[in-house]
């Protein structure tokens, strides 16, 4: 199983240049990919802009949005932006996308929340046309740069629903889970593989997952504070969530092993503290 690391793009107060330094350090230490977490109604850095900056200072490491809130965006513009980052990075971008579940993100973006699933199904088809070089949205010419327009941008589909699995089989190179424990992710991994085979797709789907971490007693309080703020909508469940992530080398290793056991191909370990030392601390434990 490959081990990726998240960028601290969603953590409030993160200096912009830290994202660049983090990207360099993650590549030097040998992580498989850099990943972002996407929000609109939160003081975070935008996912594709963050990965474009990371692409400019790296050469080999993969770049993943895990996941981008697809229905909050104009699909033609999103197709253009993703193809641009894909080209700038020499084909290293994988666009992880999901419909999203927080109404405030849609309200902030001026997008309808209730129709997001239906609109997203239409958007995926439109984006595919754009990446294949077909004129879309009234444009007399293709809207994405070549050759990304011919090859397309690899899609990871997020979401733990039957509809997400359908989208994975139809549009994706694989599936990604977000922030759920291995015992809940495992059954969906099996469903994705089964649906993939039943649909006659070649090969096997790429399976990714997300798990939070922090390392060091010196940052534990900061880590808990961030997660309580980010997941405040959970109400009484937020304390258990914020306190339950792995924070010791042993706990991180156990988490990695548990995700490997259920067939995850790439595990993204997302930071909860915007401290560059977390890259080195994690690398020493898992690489």
Q: What is the pLDDT of residues 170-225, one digit of tens each?
A: 999 999 998 899 999 999 999 999 999 999 999 999 999 999 999 999 999 999 99
Q: Are 243 and 224 in contact (CB under 8 A)?
A: yes
Q: Are 79 and 144 in contact (CB under 8 A)?
A: yes
Q: List C-alpha distances in Å: 215 to 2, 9, 113, 248, 278.
A: 20, 18, 37, 6, 7
pLDDT digits (tens, 9 = 90+) for 152-180: 899 999 999 999 999 999 999 999 998 89
Mean pLDDT, to the nearest integer, of 96-106?
97
> End-to-end alpha-carbon separation of the chain, Å?
11
Q: Using the 8-state DSSP alphabet, how is residue 111 labeled?
A: -
Q: What is the pLDDT of residue 33?
A: 98
Q: What is the pLDDT of residue 150?
A: 56
pLDDT over threshold 90, residue 83: yes
pTM over 0.75: yes
Band (78; pLDDT cuts 50, 70, 90): very high
pLDDT over threshold 90, residue 10: yes
Summary mean pLDDT of the chain? 96
Q: What percent of the chain has pLDDT over 70?
A: 98
pLDDT digits (tens, 9 = 90+) for 33-54: 999 999 999 999 999 999 999 9
Q: What is the pLDDT of residue 183?
A: 96
Q: How far apart are CA 77 and CA 37, in angstroms?
A: 19
Q: What is the pLDDT of residue 147?
A: 57
Domains and CATH numbers, the chain: 2-286 (3.20.20.30)
Q: List C-alpha distances in Å: 274 to 7, 143, 157, 238.
A: 9, 36, 27, 20
Please give the radius of gyration of the chain, using alpha carbons only, rounded to the nearest integer.
18
Mean pLDDT, to the nearest integer, of 53-66?
98
């Amino acid at each position: 199983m490959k081990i990726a690391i998240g960028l601290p793009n969603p953590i409030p107060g993160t200096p912009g240049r830290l994202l660049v330094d983090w990207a360099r350090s993650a590549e030097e230490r040998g992580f498989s990919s850099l990943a972002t977490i996407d929000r609109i109604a939160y003081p975070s850095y935008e996912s594709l802009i963050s990965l474009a900056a990371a692409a400019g200072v790296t050469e080999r490491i993969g770049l993943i949005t895990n996941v981008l809130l697809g229905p909050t965006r104009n699909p033609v513009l999103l197709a253009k932006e993703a193809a641009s980052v894909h080209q700038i990075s020499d084909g290293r971008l994988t666009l992880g996308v999901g419909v999203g579940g927080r109404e405030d993100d849609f309200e902030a973006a001026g997008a309808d929340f209730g129709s997001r699933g239906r609109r997203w199904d239409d958007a995926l088809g439109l984006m595919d046309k754009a990446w294949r070089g077909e004129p879309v949205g009234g444009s007399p010419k293709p809207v994405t740069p070549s050759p990304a327009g011919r090859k397309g941008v690899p899609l990871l589909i997020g979401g733990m629903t039957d509809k997400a699995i359908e989208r994975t089989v139809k549009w994706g190179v694989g599936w990604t889970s977000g922030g759920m424990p291995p015992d809940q992710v495992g059954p969906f991994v099996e469903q994705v593989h089964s649906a993939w085979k039943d649909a006659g797709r070649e090969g096997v789907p790429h399976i990714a997952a997300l798990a939070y971490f922090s390392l060091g007693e010196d940052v534990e309080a900061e880590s808990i504070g961030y997660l309580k703020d980010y997941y405040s909508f959970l109400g009484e469940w937020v304390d258990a969530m914020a306190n339950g992530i792995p924070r010791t080398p042993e706990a991180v290793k156990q988490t990695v092993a548990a995700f490997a056991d259920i067939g995850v191909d790439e595990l993204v370990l997302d930071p909860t503290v915007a401290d560059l030392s977390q890259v080195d601390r994690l690398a020493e434990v898992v690489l």
